[in-house]
Chains A and B, each alone.
Chain A
């Protein structure tokens, strides 16, 4: 195989942090090359330099053995480098074809473009209707838009940043088929992920980054996932352990909860029922945007429902607000850390007061007791190993993983009877994620009921006693996680409702081969 991209000695420093330090590696034509590393290891900065969004301080890049210095993404695209972003760079209120036209240098007329989109999507088994609005599409379909946008440029190198984090197992299979086909046609793929099993299944080579430096290279098929994980973090990992206690009485019951969506692109919840027992963890899987946020809001009290739809120990609480629910012991930790779970510009102490003021009695006669509040913030920081100079620091200044530990810790230390968390370890590095999972399991062992909403199925398999799937605003019935296979989960996630929709287009990949 001939060499396509050669990176040598690439360095990029930001004030206070060296994002990339003397990074070198090569990618051959048709190779699927993995870039591995924890959050903050410098993967994103590296690919942004390759895509022309960031200029390196020093070091060189060569493409097709010629110097390659893209000054902007346009130049990168002109050289045959395309990128699919982690957070989709799509415009919700525009149509698929319009979105694709925006990513092209010289787009053809709209109807010609629509035809080309149909052709390419059929060739690669990625069904897509050019006239639909992005806001109406599922995460998997949105990703297809990004991929097709890249494919229409006929790229030599395709960069994919965490492409599977929002996909169901079946969608991942479809994506991998497409990528293998591209690689067979000679397109090199630079694949960024921290899902090690996927990398073992797909990639030919891997470069592992830690704190901006290349620490190892390996052939993923010849390594175990655990070995690669330890290369990533540079230390041995510990796996959380469940207590194996028997579940107790029902503590939270949701019956026939239906909620119309408040925004045009939100999800309507339909007829959701579940019951949660003391001492157990209920895992709710599903791709983001299928009603997770809406469901969490209904449980936290941000959205009020009919009183009987949500019951705590047999008492109707559907019409109570968040503060009243906290008082009786129903606590929540929402997904979006900055802006929903925590106020970015307020200190950790102030953020601690915001949800713990009642249960921890941090206020007397409407006056906040700052001494006591600071002590509580310190207690969280200590118990959950939050890396921060002190409780006076603004929430914004913490890294994602540290803030997540603080947010989860703030709720767990209030000894809730029910705790609902949404994506507890999203964007959190492996060691911190293990700590958070352990804390949730310890809380359940002490007799609380815990609901974990997550896209990470491995995580749910690890912590949850029972599993159910949320798809299209409907919740499946629950099944014990013990003995559940990936295929069964995939079917639950697809949901009866989606199965009808997907049946027709899903038939096409096989037809195309």
Chain B
């Protein structure tokens, strides 16, 4: 085994790229769950975003338009979920699972003519002297726009939930929809907006996979990333910065195990492949092991249907 083939700087730089899809999907789901809705359709919305983004980027040769289309695609699909669960009061778990299956199927149909095509490349940002810094420049300041957008979304969501009235109302709706309704807040409208935001974020995450990380279209290319995003939200105790830690940890181990496989480590490939999932969940479980505190940050009305009766 030749460990010297693994360059720590390249490894650290690529972990941010590997983590960004999950990061985007997870922060969107965090907002949805904070509003009291459990949308298990993240995987489906991601893959719809992946194909929408890929198709539009190929047709227009503009990755930016591709990302916008991906966000729209994810949001439109999430509105299907929103309409079913919030207006027709269907079961959120079942509807979310159906959404994943529907998204996977629809995306392979939409993507038939795009298999094997190469996506237009997304340029890295040139941050001038910052990008030229040794080590740090390579790790932090030589990525494409979406990596920074994803971190900005994390910071924005954190600020919104913690300091703004919008965030307070959102948390209140997730905490007790009956009390929020009694105070005159529009529970269903707020939840629909949150679901739409979650769908757009998941779509962006999917497009990042198909346009930057891979970058091409293959059926089922999300490969469970949506599920790991869901798990990260729970184990991060619904805290935005912890979601980022979880996503980067997952991305980091994914990259590391790929490098180890390439370097011919004497560990069975199956073990290496499962390690990102295993280690991420393990670490986050340990972080959130104080059950009393975890129960405090969980939205109390998560997954409950709201019906304004009498």
Contact surface of A with B, Cβ cutoff 8 Å? 14, 45, 48, 52-54, 72-74, 77, 85, 88-94, 98, 101-103, 107, 133, 135, 263-264
Contacts and interface: CB of A to CB of B under 8 A. Distances in A.
B168 interface: yes
Give the size category of B's interface with A: 20 to 34
B176 A264 contact: no
A99 to B, nearest CB: 8
A427 to B, nearest CB: 16
Contact of B175 (A88, A92, A263, A264): A92
B310 interface: yes
A135 B169 CA distance: 18
A373 to B, nearest CB: 31
Contacts of A48: 310
A360 B185 CA distance: 50
Contacts of B169: 102
Nearest to A90: B179
Given A92-B175, A102-B172, A107 B183 contact: no
Nearest to B293: A264
Contacts of B183: 73, 89, 102-103
B184 A74 contact: yes
A93 B300 CA distance: 8
Given A101-B165, A102-B168, A102-B172, A93 B296 contact: yes
Given A94-B171, A98-B168, A89 B292 contact: no
Given A91-B179, A94-B175, A264 B168 contact: no
11 contacts: A45-B310, A48-B310, A77-B184, A89-B183, A91-B176, A92-B176, A93-B297, A102-B185, A135-B296, A263-B295, A264-B295
B286 interface: no
Nearest to B184: A73
B203 to A, nearest CB: 30
B175 A91 contact: yes
A413 B91 CA distance: 39
Nearest to A53: B182
Nearest to B292: A264
A93 B175 contact: yes
A264 B127 CA distance: 48
Contacts of A53: 182
A131 to B, nearest CB: 14
Interface in B167-195: 168-169, 171-172, 175-176, 178-180, 182-185
Lowest 8 CB-CB distances: which A-B pairs, in order? A73-B184, A89-B179, A89-B182, A91-B175, A264-B292, A74-B184, A264-B295, A72-B184
A504 to B, nearest CB: 27
Contacts of B182: 53, 73, 85, 89
A135 B296 CA distance: 9
Nearest to A133: B296
Contact of B300 (A73, A92, A102): A92
Q: Which of B169, B178, B292, B297 gathers the greatest number of chain A CB atoms within 10 Å?
A: B292
B170 to A, nearest CB: 11
B165 A107 contact: yes
Contacts of A102: 168-169, 172, 180, 183, 185
B167 to A, nearest CB: 10
Interface in B121-178: 165, 168-169, 171-172, 175-176, 178
Interface of B: 165, 168-169, 171-172, 175-176, 178-180, 182-185, 292-293, 295-297, 300, 310
A107 B176 CA distance: 20
Nearest to B169: A102
Contacts of A92: 175-176, 300
A89 B178 CA distance: 7
Contacts of B172: 91, 94, 98, 102
A307 B182 CA distance: 46
Contacts of B292: 263-264
Contacts of A89: 176, 178-179, 182-183
Contacts of A73: 182-184
Contacts of A135: 296
Contacts of B176: 89-92
Nearest to A264: B292
A89 B185 CA distance: 12
A88 B185 CA distance: 16
Contacts of B300: 92-93
Contacts of A107: 165
A56 to B, nearest CB: 14
Nearest to B301: A91
A16 to B, nearest CB: 13
Given A135-B296, A263-B295, 10 more contacts: A52-B184, A73-B182, A73-B184, A89-B182, A94-B175, A98-B168, A98-B172, A101-B168, A103-B183, A133-B296
B243 to A, nearest CB: 18
A133 B297 CA distance: 12
A92 B295 CA distance: 11
Contacts of A264: 292-293, 295-296
A93 B296 CA distance: 6
Nearest to A45: B310
Nearest to B299: A93
Contacts of B293: 264
A133 B293 CA distance: 13
Contacts of B165: 101, 107
Contacts of B310: 14, 45, 48, 54
Contacts of B180: 91, 102
Nearest to A266: B292
Contacts of B296: 93, 133, 135, 264
Nearest to A98: B168
B249 to A, nearest CB: 27
Nearest to B175: A91
A264 B291 CA distance: 9
A91 B177 CA distance: 9
Contacts of A54: 310
Contacts of A85: 182
A107 B168 CA distance: 12
Nearest to A103: B183
Contacts of B185: 102
Nearest to B186: A72
A47 to B, nearest CB: 12
Contacts of B178: 89
B43 to A, nearest CB: 29
Contacts of A77: 184
A12 to B, nearest CB: 10
Contacts of A88: 179
Contacts of B171: 91, 93-94
A52 B182 CA distance: 10
Contacts of A103: 183
A77 B185 CA distance: 13
A90 B182 CA distance: 10
A171 to B, nearest CB: 22
Nearest to B176: A91
A93 B171 CA distance: 9
Q: Which of B172, B178, B310 gathers the greatest number of chain A CB atoms within 10 Å?
A: B172
A417 to B, nearest CB: 37
Q: Which of B179, B292, B296 gathers the greatest number of chain A CB atoms within 10 Å?
A: B179
A53 B180 CA distance: 12
Nearest to A76: B184
